[in-house]
Every structure is written in C-alpha cells, then in structure tokens.
Structure 1
C-alpha cells in the first residue's frame, strides 16, 4: 500500500464495530459485525475491527433499518504503522526473559562442567630421568597430597554442579510453562513489532439521515466444533433432560465475546450456484454479445512505448557478465517492439488478457491479446515453437472473478514482455501476510477430538442441520476446545433391561431414546447422570427425526437371570430314519428393585440352508422387528419381553427341535448346548 493511499485511508472517518453473531460451520465460520456512525458528505467511511484472517472475497455489507441509504461499494484494506507506546505484551516478554535466564543458567552449568573436567585431569608428572641419574624414590606424600586436593576440590565442584543442574531444571520448567501459556493465549492481539489495522472501506449512497447502521458479514477459517450431550435421568420415572452442548475451538484472530452463536454442519466452501445452460438455435449465426465492462484496447497503445523502446535497454548493473559471443563493451541492439494485437478482438477495458487465458487455459503465443515470445539474448537458443494443436480460442472473452475485480487490477509497466504492456491484469492479493494468518488459523482442524466425538460433517450424512445457542457465549481465540451450552432438546426416554443369558448371565440397564424433534441429534459423547450421580460417558449415535436408539447404562445387579438347558436325542420315522435333537431352554428372572421393570430376554435359534435339516420351534418367543431405523440383529434371534413387578420372579420356557437324517451328524457333535 502506498503512502498516498494510506493517507487517504486515514483521512476517512472511522466507525468502530462490535461482533454480534457467529455461525460456526464444519470448517470455518461466518461472522457478523455491527457498526454505526455519521455519514460524511462524500459517503465514504472506514469500519475498523476486522481480523487479519478474513477472506476478502466473502465481505457482504447491508444497511439496517429504513434509513434510505444503500451500500454501493465495499473493499477490505490493510494499513500498518509502528506500534504506539502502549502496554507491552506480558506473556511474550515473560518468555523472552525466561529464555535469557535459562541460557544464563545453562552457561554457568557448562562452565562448572569445564572446571570439573580440568580438575579431574590433574595427574602427577615425574621429571625426566637422564641415563646417568641414579634411581629416585617416589614422593608418596606429594602424590597423596595431590590426590587429597583433587578429591576435596571435586567434592565442592560436584556439589555446586548439583545445585546448577537443579537450577537448570527449574528454569526450563518455568520456560516451558510460560511458552505453553503463550501458545494457548488468545490470538486477538496486535503483532509485537507493528500495528496492523484491517478495515472495510464503504461507500454509502442515497438520501437519508445523518446517521446509519450497517451490518458486515465475512468468512474466516480456523473454527471447528463437535457436538456433546449431557443426559439427566431419574429411575423413578420415564423422563429426562438431554442438554446439547458443543466443543468449539477457534483461532480466527478475534475473541468471540458475548456473541450469538449458531452451529451448522454445512460446508461453506461448497458450490451452490446453479448451472447455466445456453440456448441452441438453428438458423443464421448471431454474434454473441460481449460481456459488460469489456471493450477493445485504445487506439495508439503500441505508439505509447515507442520512445521507451527507441532509448534502448537500461544499462546492465555492475558485476553481471555479458552474454557469450557478445563483443566486449558492445551494447546489444534494442529488441524489436512487439506487434500490435489484431483489431476487432474484444479485450478487457484497459487490459488484454486473451480469451484462452480464462478458466485456466494458457493463451496462445502471438494470438489475439496473448503474450508475444520475447527476443532471445545473443548466444541463447530460441524457445521451441508452439505446437500446432494449440489453436487460439475464438469468440468474446469470458472473464473470471479475478478479471472482474476492477479495483484489484494492476497496470503493467513498459518492461513487461509481450502484449501485457500498458494493460490491466489481476494483481497480487490485498494482503500478502494474510495468507500466513489463514494458514495458522486452519491449524485447529488438526486438533485431537474429545472421546467419542465425531466430526459433524461425517455424522450429518446427506442433510445439513443448524443449532442456535439459547444465550450469548464467549469463545477466546486460543485454539483449544471450549464447551458451550446450546440448549435443551426434548427427547422421549424409557428404561428397559436387556439380557442374553446364552452369552452372559447378566442383566444390563438400557435407555431407549426417541427423537421427537424436527432436527437430527448428531453422533457424539453423552454424559449420563442418574439420580444426580454421574454414571458414565457413552457414545450417542446419530438419531434422525423420529428415530429410536438404545443406549447401554451398564450391569443392573438388582435384576438377576439364570439359564438352564437340556438336550434329548431320539429317533423318529417308520424305520428310524430321522434323528431328533430336542433342546429345552429354561430362564428364570428375579426383580429385586422397588419398582416394576421391563426385561427383554434374547435367545438364538439355529438357522440352516440344508433342505434335509428341519428346525421346529416350540416357544412363545417372537422374532425382533425388522425395518428402517430398527436395531440390527443376527439371523435366528428370538425375543421374550415381559413386565416384571417389584420383588417378583418369572420363569420362561422355550426350545426347538433339530431334525436331521439318521446317517448325518452336526459338525462338532450332536450333543451341544
């Protein structure tokens, strides 16, 4: 941004804005800000407070109320200036101070290790003995004195080393804690070395009062959420409360303080525009109308740079060698000017992107509006000619979003090669640093999920849902999970007891949840509280509107079950050609609770695909219901359902007969339970 544009930006009256509501999607969020102020005569105002990570293409502005004004222009601008004399960043300064202190302690520890190594290397060195010298006695007292000195000195040095090691561990621990606090701190803070202001420059038009209120809507990355639940249940009645909560993490660069929060499962980046079908007509060819805002390049565009080309190339900077084959000190001749583009081809008003350059297609070299190959330097090979298959695309240009963003176009200078000189082309992003902020914000998508949590886009299936929080919430921009309360969901609850005594002679308590609302309950963890005491955290599956699901609560010790079986093998038929395996099942139930209970006993009957084997049941059990939304069961499952009064017992008798030919036998033997 130039100084002139920065000065004009600062001269505009500024409106402060406040974040009012946020809609968190599966990835990303849409924020809405409110701003109010007096409209100057020119109608241009500057709304501040926008985050660095926002998507500039998602900005939408509208005037609230019946003020008679409307928004005719809105752009995102970035201004940077040196920081003022405000309060320093406490956490960052603390980390820097502890880093220096930790480095100083490590230095003292390293010097102490050097002293220990130096003292430990002390050894007695006898003088050199000449050949004519007689043998000398070893000075044992001196050797012992040196050893005592080394031991005494090393003892003191090692004691000091232990103190320094403890100081290093303590300093590193304090530094790690400070660094963790800094990493978890909110990102809604200005950079330490420069103050960056992201604002929206609005143009208001129309007759209205001196004051106006506008609503700004923009999208930001770096926000995710997963649903969680809390279920409160009382054993005395078949009622309960299911509280929908959400774990929300965001690193958008702005704290959400006192905002109206909504949670959605949709993907904001999914295309929602309808396909446009062109009409096909039989008859005379009619010229396709050119898009609005496009015209031919102005006449005389080639002559605009004639004087610049005649002056020759700029002098080469010192230190750059000439091309191979060029004479020493010789100045190469100026390159020939590029040929003018053919007339009659509509190009952008002021910029000449070729029609083939739109929608990702490269322009044909030398084609209408396309770049002309630059002349090769002396001693260099010419580029290969284009392939014959790359024919230029005819017809009117079809601009994309970048070409239609007139305020983001850049005028190419005289040093540009080909047909780009003096024309407008899409320039760089409005804020090169914003890409780094968005990449940091998108790191929250890699956060580990809480236990039993499922991404909302996975559990929602083919439908999208939205949940609005009942009260305003606070979510700081620190990139960690925060639990917010969304609201209470009315669900139907009833308690049932389930057992499969052929597998395990234990009765389990279960809750039957029925969703009577018009919204689905997404899969996620649910904290179950029974009679005010926390029981367990279970996984709630996705519950569609009108759906019913069973959720286990663990073993019920007060309801007992016992199962006994009996097998009798006999023959039947005139010549005893059929073996009959008669299985009898006896199940006893006992309710030791002070209230009646409903118990479902599950048994399994064998199934066969052999036409010579017949299975005949002799019990009052029933097959489980099958259909959409029902619980899946294995083939051959049979169910007993009975209401057991308080303190009562019950006995269930059932069985089945397996009839097989006498010459055959079941795999593994006939006498099995």
Structure 2
C-alpha cells in the first residue's frame, strides 16, 4: 500500500515537471496568430461618444416651419470612424432637412435619424396634470352653475315688482303691502348681488388656474417627451482631434406674421415705424435667446426635385352637345330630364369646365390646435402670408427666449423713419364721413408686408388700422387714421325718368346728388370729395354731366372709371354744398344691366 502511494506521488511529480518543461511560447504564438486573423476578418468597431444636446445657435422661422441650427462639439479621441450623437430632438423633424457641416480634416460619412417612442405608459407627471385639469374644470363648472343660479334668482326678484293698479286689478294696493313687498324684493336683490360679487374673484381665479393648467398640459404634450429623435452622424476623424459641428434641421409647428407700431409726430411731420414679427411655435423644443430670422419663403427641403401630381380627367368635360329639340320638348329640359339618356342634367357642370380645387392641390384644408387656418401640402403646412412674391429675410434686433407653448411673442426686427403728408378724403356714397389718411413713400430695400398697424399720434393711442397689401420699396403707402368727427356730411339723391322723341324714342334718367358739409370745429378743414357715375362702351347710350347745373363743377379723376373729384375747404363754423347733376339716355328697347368694373379703377 505504501509502495502504491509512493508511485502515485511520483507520477504527479512527473506530470508537474512535464508541464514546467512544456514550451509555452509555442502556445502564445498560436494564440496571437489566431487573434490577428480574427482582427482581419472582423471590421473595426466605431467609437461612439455619449448623446449630446448641443446648443441652439440660431433659428429661422418660415410660414409653417422653423429651421433650427445647433452647435455641438466632438471631443478628441481615437482616430478613424466615429459617431456623433445629438439629441433629444422632437420626433417631428423632417429627415430630408438635416444638414451637417464641420471643420476641415473631418468628413461626414452618413446621417441617421433614430426615433424612440418612449415608455408606453404615460408619465406620472402627465397623469397628475390631467387630473388637476379635470378638477379645475369641475370647479369652474360648479362656480358657473352657482353664478347662473344667482342671476336667475336676481331676475326672479326683479320680476316680483307689482304693477300699478288699473282696470284689470280688483282693487287698489295699500301702501303697507307695497312697503312689505318692496322690502322683500330689495332684500333679495341685495343678497343675490352681494353673493354674485363675492363669486366674481373666485370664478376669475378658477378660470386662470384652468387656463394655466391647460397651457402646461399642452406644453408637456408638445415637447414630445414620449416620442423623441436622436441624430447619429458618422464621421471620419483621421487625426482624432475632434471638432465643432453645425447641425441644421426643420421642425413643423411654427409661424410668424408682421405687425407694426406707428408713432406720428404732428409737429415735425415725421413718422416712426416699428416692425414686429408675431411668432408662435409649438415645435416641441424651447428656443433660447439666440439670433432669430423671419423669412417669407418656404423652407428648403433638400436638393431633390419636386413630385408631379397625377391629373384626373372627369367625364363631364367631354359630354356630347345637347340634342336639338322641338319647342314643345325644350321647356321640359329645364326640369332636369335628359330624354336621350334618361339622366338628370346639371347645368353648372355643362357650362363650367371642371377645375382643380384648393383642397385637391393642397391635399385638404387643415386647422391647427391654436385655430390658425393653413393649407396642407405634401411634407408640411403653408401658413397664409401676403408677400406679393418678395422673398425677404428679416433679423430680430433683440434676442429673447420663445417657449414652445403656442403663445404669441412679438420680436422687433426693423425701425424706420419716414416723412409723411396728411390727407383727408370723403367718399359720401360709401360712408358719410371724412377720413384721415397719411401718405408716405417706402424707402429702403425691404417691403412692408401686409399686417395690422397700431397708431399713436403725439404719444396718444389712436387705434388700429392695417396695411391691406404689401408695399414694395419706392411705392406709396396710405394709412387710414379714422374720421374727422367735427364735420358732418349729408348726402341726398333724387332720381327722375322721362321719355323723349317721337320717332327715335329714348328714355332719359336724371340724377341729382346733393352733398352738404358742416364744420363744427375751430379751424378750417381741406379735404377731397369723390363721387362716381356709371360708364359704358355702348355708343347708343349717352351719359353726360350737366355742368350748367352742377355747382361747383367736378374734375374728372378717372374718366375710364367715371370718378369725379372736388377739392373742398370748409371754414370753421360754416357749411358748404355741392350739387352734381348727370343724365343718361338709352333707346327704349334697351335693357340696362349694372355690372361692377373693378378693372377700370386700377389702384384707386
């Protein structure tokens, strides 16, 4: 037994000695060769840094879109292919709009957009906010019902006042009964009035709280916390030194429109015009105080050509002509019966060729959550902005934050000074009043877009007018400033008709228009009066002004449109009258039809 144990120990010692004598360098060299071969077969892994948010450095707002630029730094690292991750970004960004620019020495290989729907369970903060909104709504409804009940009680008390004794009453009402009933009614009215007054601040606070909670809920939903995107930019960094990247992308849910403030200095005859951009955005990300631009054009969406839409030709366009019918059958077609085919006839479809409607061209009319009408098109929404084709870009003078809550934010982008001329005009046929206007010539390189104008005269607020149509540089702008309330305008018209001639019988229509102006002010006023008479291209119809009876005689402002003009000055405390007499002669067998002709007026 002992000999057996010795043999086992000797064998173990021999095995250990054999392992010590084994050439391990052969095994190490084989492993290194295997690792080298594996490295040749497997591609090199990309070095990816963590997700960076970067900094928003500029924003350009278009009609319906916003172009956001972020600056992000790629730190120094290993040389070769690397991945730059930028996020989180609202998931609504347009993939084709992403553009990446960087420094020399770094090449951008590819850009990927990865969207994450997030947790399918609604966040606890959002659920709690929804509950608070429901509680606030119930509170507002309760207070509104209480206020309606008190208002009904007050009306009920007011209706209890007895009527005076008359024939229908059985007998006179005693003074004591009147006094008791009056005390009861007044006491009830006072009680309900006090309760309603106490209810007003509670109702106001409840409505403000509900509005605030709804705004927070809308902002939380618009930020898209459950649906976000991340940009993965693969770059080739040959030296591994890193660099700075500028990433641009477009987001729907932003718009702007122009608005103006005008300060009129009546002493220096100078007008100070401040141009603002009323910006609204619900893109899902808040914009910090960075340079902001406002463009009238549509945003670029890449270098690829646009898509052609298919045209559908409808059958009604090629219907055969109507068959020739006898006088007996022809009146029956007015009832909508087609005797040849047994089909109903739609006269409008036969007379008017089919045309592509706005809904077909723009893929339907859309209305956003804030109540702004837009036209939807493939890839986005086009908010209506009157620019007359001018592609202009305005830059905000001051940088300020714009949250993504859909509220209107005013940003100043231009300050200009113009000399102006005052003008008073009266068009009695449209309105018996004298309108004040300012005339100025637009200078500079940028147009004045159509929009509302708030007017201040000598630091006093006058009211709101508008620029109806975009004014180009070099054109004249007219601003309406209300009416002269100390001048009374009266317009009366008398018409008569008479048949003249024995052989060539004609009908003469005679019109007398009398205008009266009364100045109740302390100074004389000079203004322009405009009237118009009809015009015709028919040589058989004669329209003339009786200059012998018309006092004073008018000046022809536009003969093609029939516009007449009088320069009028009315002294303080006095009145002035204008008489216009004109006649129109037509053959008796003629039938007149009045048609507006705006093409004759031009810009007037």
Give the TM-score normalised by structure 2.
0.54
8 Å contact from structure 1 (residues 244, 485) kept in 2: yes
- Higher mean C-alpha displacement, 29-38 vs 234-243: 234-243
Secondary structure of 1:93's counterpart equals helix
Equivalent of 2:63, from 23, 26, 41? 26
Structure 2 distance, partners of 1:458, 1:264, is 10
CA positional deviation for 1:247: 2.5
Q: Which residue in the other structure is 2:554 paired with?
A: 621
Q: Point out the structure with the larger helix share.
A: 2
Query: 1:467 matched to which residue of 2?
Result: 394
Instruction: Tell me, yes or no, if structure 1 residue 48 matches structure 2 residue 79.
Output: no
Aligned-pair distance for 1:475? 1.3
Distance 1:457 1:270, change over 3 A: farther
CA distance in structure 2 between the partners assigned to 1:507 and 1:603 by the alignment: 13
Question: Is contact 2:253-2:283 (8 Å) kept?
Answer: yes
Contact 1:571–1:578 (8 Å) recurs in 2: yes
Quick one: which of 81, 86, 97 aligns to 1:58? 97
Aligned 8 A contact 2:432 2:489 in 1? yes
Residue of structure 2 in register with 1:350 after alignment: none
Of 225, 233, 243, 1:201 maps to 233
- How far, CA to CA, are the matches of 2:527 and 2:276 in structure 1? 32
- Cα gap change, 1:91 to 1:563, in 2 (>3 Å): same
User: In the aligned structure 1, how far is the partner of 2:223 from the partner of 2:506?
Assistant: 86
The answer to whether structure 1 residue 254 and structure 2 residue 285 are counterparts is yes
- The 5 A counterparts of 1:190-229 are 191=225, 198-205=230-237, 210=241, 212-229=243-260
- Count, aligned residues: 408
Shift of 1:33: 1.0
Within-5 A mapping of 1:391-406: none
Residue 72 of structure 2: SS of its match in structure 1? strand
SS in 2 for 1:12: strand
Deviation digits for residues 228-269 of structure 1, max 9, x if unmatched?
222333444543233222232222221011121111222226
Shift of 1:506: 2.2
Aligned-residue offset at 1:42: 2.3
- Once residues 586 and 79 of structure 1 are traced to their aligned partners in structure 2, the CA distance between those partners, rounded to angstroms, is 74
1:501 aligns with 2:532: no
5+ residue gaps in structure 2? 1-44, 139-202, 311-364, 374-381, 593-604
1:518 equivalent in alignment to 2:433: no
2:371 pairs with 1:448? yes
Deviation at 1:446, TM superposition (A): 5.0
Secondary structure of residue in 2 paired with 1:263: strand
* Pair 527,456 (structure 1): closer, same or farther in 2 beyond 3 Å: farther
Residue 35 in 1 paired to residue 36 in 2?
Answer: no
Aligned-partner Cα distance in 2 for 1:556–1:100: 53
Aligned counterpart in structure 2 of residue 75 of structure 1, from 108, 111, 121: 111
Distance change >3 Å, CA 486–CA 74, structure 1 → 2: farther
CA distance in 2, matches of 1:525, 1:101: 36
Residue 351 of structure 1 corresponds to none
Q: Secondary structure at the match of 1:252?
A: coil
Q: Which residue of 2 aligns with 1:536?
A: 463
2:314 aligns with none
- Compared with structure 1, are the counterparts of its residues 456 and 240 closer, same or farther at alpha carbon in structure 2 (3 Å cutoff)? farther
With over 3 angstroms needed to count, the CA separation of the structure-2 counterparts of 1:604 and 1:258, relative to structure 1, is: same
Structure 1 CA distance for aligned equivalents of residues 58 and 127 of structure 2: 30
Checking the alignment, whether the CA contact within 8 Å between 2:570 and 2:576 is kept in structure 1 is: no
Residue 472 of structure 1: how far off its partner (Å): 1.2
1:32, distance to aligned residue in structure 2 (A): 0.7
The separation in 2 between residues aligned to 1:654 and 1:448, in whole angstroms, is 50
Partner in structure 2 of residue 297 of structure 1:
none
Task: Give the Cα–Cα distance (whole angstroms) in 2 for the partners of residues 483 and 648 of structure 1.
Answer: 46
Structure 2 match to 1:93: 128
| Contact 1:515 1:543 (C-alpha < 8 Å) held by counterparts | no
Query: In structure 2, do the counterparts of structure 1 residues 60 and 637 end up closer, same or farther at CA, with 3 Å as the change threshold?
Result: same
Deviation, structure 1 residue 226 = 2.3
1:600·1:641 contact (CA, 8 Å) conserved in 2?
yes
1:640 maps to what in 2? 566
Q: 1:658: which partner in 2? A: 583
Report the Cα offset of residue 207 of structure 1: 6.1
What secondary structure sits across from 1:222 in the alignment? Answer: strand
**Alignment RMSD:** 5.0
Contact map agreement 1:519 1:544 (CA 8 A) in 2: no
TM, length-normalised to structure 1: 0.49
Of residues 557-566 and 495-504 in structure 1, the stretch that sits farther from structure 2 once superposed is 557-566
**Residues 427-466 of structure 1 deviation map (CA, whole Å, 9 limit, x = unaligned):** xxxxxxxxxxxxxxx998453249xxxx864512444322
Aligned counterparts of 2:467 and 2:510: Cα–Cα separation in 1: 42
Q: CA deviation at 1:22?
A: 0.9
